[in-house]
Structures are given as structure tokens and as C-alpha cells.
Structure 1
Amino acid sequence: MSEDFGLLEPADQPGDEWEQLDVSDTEADRIALRQDREFDEFRKRIKDTEQFKLQESVFDDATLAAVYKLVQDGYVDAFGGPVSTGKEASVFEALGGQAGERPEPGSEAAGGGPEGVTPEREVAVKVYRINSSNFRQMRDYLEGDPRFDGIASDKKAVVLAWTRKEFANLERARKAGVRVPEPIAVQRNVLVMELVGHAEERARRLSEVDVENPETAYEVVREYMRRLYGAGLIHGDLSEYNMIIHEGELVIIDMGQAVTVHHPNAGEFLKRDCENVATFFTRQGIDVDPDDLRAYVTEPEPEPGGEPGADGESSAGADEVPEADERE
């Protein structure tokens, strides 16, 4: 790929790691309890739809109520088939609606259309399973996060908190200038976000491509890690399996487990991220030391007028992204 893409511009206020996130019952829970006629018809229609028959375990009544609320609010117009299916969550493609919080024309989630034109856009709808999610592993990441202080210990509360946490992490990462899927809406255990790529032509993970310019790729990754850290976040599971390349852009995904720098295990998670990234790029022929990477990520940015990089850009070509060829 020959295109050159710049890094996102960070916002002035990327977020506060001490903010409290509301994980109480939502309107979707009340709809599920009320069982109104329109919702009942919606539930039958969804469960009769061919692409959902194999996903029946995902769509309990409360989850269907969350989807119903997202449709009512204009975030989703129509569902497509599943993009990916995992033990903890399934991701579906969908047609985005005309909600008031629809992303700005020209943004990734709006389809990248010209100013003044809002094209129909495909979105990803990520549905976390309440009953089969890894409850214990989720708690390891939630416990100690000041945003979820005092969260209940039952499985439903943890999964709902996890979904809300992923939405909040995506929002903060984008404000910090990190290329992640653009978050659009969240309702209970259902997250609507930008679909990077298409269901028929999905974006490839870094592990699935031959990186032609590994030095440039590494500069982009370490700059994004630094920006995340500067915004008070650590990915917590960063590797070549949680980074994708699409149309010349490197995108970091799976932000649900990202923790704040004040998490009691933040140092351990950052060390593991640095080791994973160093191991991958060492295999690509670059001499990457995980300790050097950690020092770069945690080093405060120079004051304006200081060394190169004070404007938030990497001093070693992070305004370019790696070219990649798909492996056969």
C-alpha cells in the first residue's frame, strides 16, 4: 500500500482516569422487564432471522432489549451477519442509524465521506455474553480500577461494567490521538462502534500480514502506547493479535481490558505489553528492547519548544504507517 496517513490529533482533554462510570440498570433492563408489545414483536423477528439462529445463546431477552433500544434511538437501522464469534463476545455488522450523536461527516465511523455528506455507514455491534464471559479474568482487570470502585461481584454486573469500560476506553484513546475503532453507543452489554473494514473484506491482524516497513510500524505502535499512557491508560493485552491494518492504517483494537495507570497491576500489564511488542518486532528484524520501549512509553513528553516530538508526534516517522501484504 502506498498511501501515507498521519496520526490522529490528540484532544486537549483526553479524559480523567478517576471518573466514575455509571453501570446501573438502563432503559434496556426496564424494557426487558416490561415486555411491551413492540419489543415482543422485535424479539420474535430477530430470533426468526436466519443469521441469528446460530447465535441464539447470545440474545437473551435483556440483550435483545438493549439492541431494541439502540434501534429505537437511531444508532442501528438493520443487522447483518456475524463478523466474528468468540467465547466472550460476538461481533455483527450492521447499518448505522441517524442518531443525534452520529459521528461527524468525514470521520471513520461516518464512512469518510466529504464534508456535508453523511453516507450510510456500516457499524460493528459487539455483544458480550453474560453467561459465558470469563468472569474471573474480567474481575482481575476491573478490581483496582478507580472508575469501578465498589462494583458488585455478580457476573451480570461485571460484564455490564466491562462493556461500559470498553466504550469509555475507546473514547479516551481517540481523544488522546490513538487510532482505535470509533465508539458510537453503548447499551447494557451491547457496544456499537466503527466497523474497520467490511464483513466481506475484514481488516487483517498484524499477525496475519507481512509488514514491509517494520521500522515504521514499530514507531507508530510505540507512539500510540505513549499516547495511551499519557492519557492514563495501559492496553493490558497488546500484541500483534490486537492490532490490525486496513487501507494503510494501523488500528489498535480490543480495548475492554485496558486499565488506568493507577491500577495495582498497571506495571505488570505495561511490562507484558512491552515484551509482546518487542518480541513481535524483533521477529520482524528490528532490535527492540522491551525496557527501552517501556522507558519511551512512560517518559513525559518534552515541553513545547524542547526536543522533537513535543507536538505529540513521534520523532522517528510516526506520521507514516506500515505498508503490508496479506499472507497467503
Structure 2
Amino acid sequence: MSGSREEYGLLDFENVEGVGDEWEEVDVSDTEADRIARKRDREFLEFRKRIKDAEQFKVEGSVFDDATFAAIYKLVQDGHIDAFGGPLSSGKEASVYEALGPDGTVAVKVYRISASDFKQMRDYLDGDPRFEGIGNDKSKVVLAWVRKEYANMRRARDAGVRVPRPIAVERNVLVMEYVGDDGQRGHRLAEVSVENPETAYEVVREYTRRLYDAGLVHGDLSEYNIVVHEGELYVIDLGQAVTVHHPNSRDFLERDCRNVANFFSRQGYDVTGEEMLAFVTGESE
């Protein structure tokens, strides 16, 4: 990957009022998708059969329960999805699919409620005022996680961080901007050869600072959660991002800085996690 400062140009950003969206209410009560799944009308049953019979979903039985089908059905009805394509990636907790939206290709991230790492999610949700009172209901925890990712992506974009644009969320399904070309997702930073590590590092460092100034800490930032597409760097996977008021936010931030610095050091640019942390928090100033 070659690049210049112009290619990695930073986004302009709006001034975010206050720090964090920690007081934003996150509703995990029944959605329209839940009501559709319970009602199971003829059109929904036909839609479910059509999706279940599609070749690309035959191995994804653990992902698509009735409520998930209903969530996708609702997103189709609302005009966010016109047609499904094949899978782009599949992990333990979620699978990402290519789909056609009204304005072109979108990415659809579907979380597995049954297979998600409940304990790990609790580590990031506990202590975040947005999610007090959720309790130990696994379904509600996963639904909160998805809505949290949507909210974090919106706040990151407002802060001038290049992330996939969040489009819609319904239950455990998140629709967002597709970062890639013709069925080929953008490459993660770990998958490319970085020919200008200093410039790439400065962009990642600045994005981390903008997140922090907006009251967010990514919490899992590394070369595996940064995507390169058309000479630009995108930060992805913000589901675990916490507000700066989270009791473990400092530990998460220190780990993010250490991971990023270690990666770019291996690319030949001499930097430390401590230097990045001081820049992000303003302590170097």
C-alpha cells in the first residue's frame, strides 16, 4: 500500500457538543421485527422461505432465527435493503453480507444472539450509563450491543472519523455503508503492505484522538479493525467502543495505543504506545 498525506486526507468534522453520548437512551424493548415474528403473516413466511432456500444462507442456520428473518423483512419493507448477496465475512459473533440498497451496495451485519460472547459483551457494557438496567438477559445484551455500535458509528462520523456510514438498525441487524468494490471488501491494514507507515500512523493517531475528544474509546483498535479502501483508512467494528466515563476506558485506550504503535513499529516507523497515548489525551501538550 503506497500513499501520501493527500490520499489519507483527514475528514472535516463537526464540533460535538459535550463528551460522550453516555446519556443517550438505548431502547431494547420489543421492536416491530419481534411483532412480525410473532404474527408470522403470509408475506413474512414467504420471505423467510425464499431467504432460507437461498444458496448463500444454507450454512448459516445459527444466524437466522425467526426474529432475525423478521428484522431483515422489516428493513426490506422500510426500503433499506432491496436484495441480498453473498457473505463478506463470518466471525463467532456476527456475519457480514453484501446487499443491494436503494442507492447501491450496502453491508448487512447480522449478530448471532445464541453464539455471541455474552461475558465479553458485559465487560464493555457494564459501567456504561447508556445500558444500566439491562440485566443478564442475553438477548437484550446482544440487542443493546448492536444499537451501541450504531450509535458509536454516528458519533464517530460526527467527530470526523472515517467509519462506514450507519444506515439503519433493526434488532440484531445493522445496515451500513459497504467499504469495497464489486464483491471484494476493503482490505484490513494487516493484509496490505504499508509503504508509507508514518503517514498512515498519523491518520490513525488523529482518528483515535478525535474519538477521544468526542468521548469515545474504540476498545479494540488494531491493524485488524482498520480498513484500507481507495487510499483512505476506515475504522471499523465499533460495537465495543465505550465512553470515556466507563471505568475501564483508560485501560482500553492504553491497549489501543499500544496495539497501533506496535503494528507501525513492525512496519519500520519508530513510535511507542506511550507517545500515541500522550497525543490522544493531550498530555503531550
Could you tell me which of 191, 196, 199 is aligned with 2:179? Answer: 196
Change (3 A) 1:5 1:211: closer
Distance in 2, Cα, partners of 1:128 & 1:49: 19
User: Does the CA-based 8 Å contact 1:20-1:146 persist in structure 2?
Assistant: no
1:57 aligns with 2:62: yes
**1:10 matched residue in structure 2:** 13
1:87 aligns with 2:86: no
Could you tell me which of 11, 29, 34 is aligned with 2:34? Answer: 29
- Spell out the pairing of 1:126-145 with structure 2 (5 A cutoff): 126-145=109-128
Distance in 1, Cα, partners of 2:76 & 2:92: 25
Offset, 1:199: 5.5
User: Does the CA-based 8 Å contact 1:93-1:199 persist in structure 2?
Assistant: no
Distance in 2, Cα, partners of 1:177 & 1:296: 17
**2:47 matched residue in structure 1:** 42
Offset, 1:228: 0.1
Distance in 2, Cα, partners of 1:55 & 1:198: 24
Distance in 1, Cα, partners of 2:143 & 2:239: 11
Could you state the TM-score of these two structures normalised by the residue count of structure 2? 0.94
Offset, 1:301: 11
Q: Give the letter aligned to residue 58 of structure 2.
A: K
**1:157 matched residue in structure 2:** 140
Offset, 1:16: 2.8
**1:112 matched residue in structure 2:** none
**2:228 matched residue in structure 1:** 245
Distance in 1, Cα, partners of 2:211 & 2:268: 26
Q: Give the letter aligned to residue 277 of structure 2.
A: R
**1:313 matched residue in structure 2:** none
Q: Give the letter aligned to residue 224 of structure 1.
A: Y
Q: Give the letter aligned to residue 114 of structure 2.
A: N
User: Does the CA-based 8 Å contact 1:83-1:199 persist in structure 2?
Assistant: no
Q: Give the letter aligned to residue 9 of structure 1.
A: D
**2:160 matched residue in structure 1:** 177
- Structure 2, unaligned stretches of length 5 or more? none
Distance in 2, Cα, partners of 1:17 & 1:179: 21
- The secondary structure found in structure 1 opposite 2:76 is helix
Distance in 2, Cα, partners of 1:84 & 1:278: 26
Between structures 1 and 2, the one with greater helix share: 2
Could you tell me which of 220, 231, 240 is aligned with 1:257? Answer: 240
- Spell out the pairing of 1:219-234 with structure 2 (5 A cutoff): 219-234=202-217
Question: Which stretch of the first structure deviates more once superposed, 248-257 or 49-58?
Answer: 49-58
Distance in 2, Cα, partners of 1:300 & 1:171: 27
Distance in 2, Cα, partners of 1:9 & 1:127: 30
Distance in 1, Cα, partners of 2:64 & 2:122: 23
**2:277 matched residue in structure 1:** 294
The RMSD of aligned alpha carbons is 1.6
User: Does the CA-based 8 Å contact 1:87-1:133 persist in structure 2?
Assistant: yes
Question: Which stretch of the first structure deviates more once superposed, 182-191 or 290-299?
Answer: 290-299
- Structure 1, unaligned stretches of length 5 or more? 98-119, 303-328
- The secondary structure found in structure 2 opposite 1:76 is coil
Distance in 1, Cα, partners of 2:58 & 2:191: 30
* Alignment: residue pair count: 280
Could you tell me which of 65, 70, 73 is aligned with 2:75? Answer: 70
User: Does the CA-based 8 Å contact 1:204-1:244 persist in structure 2?
Assistant: yes
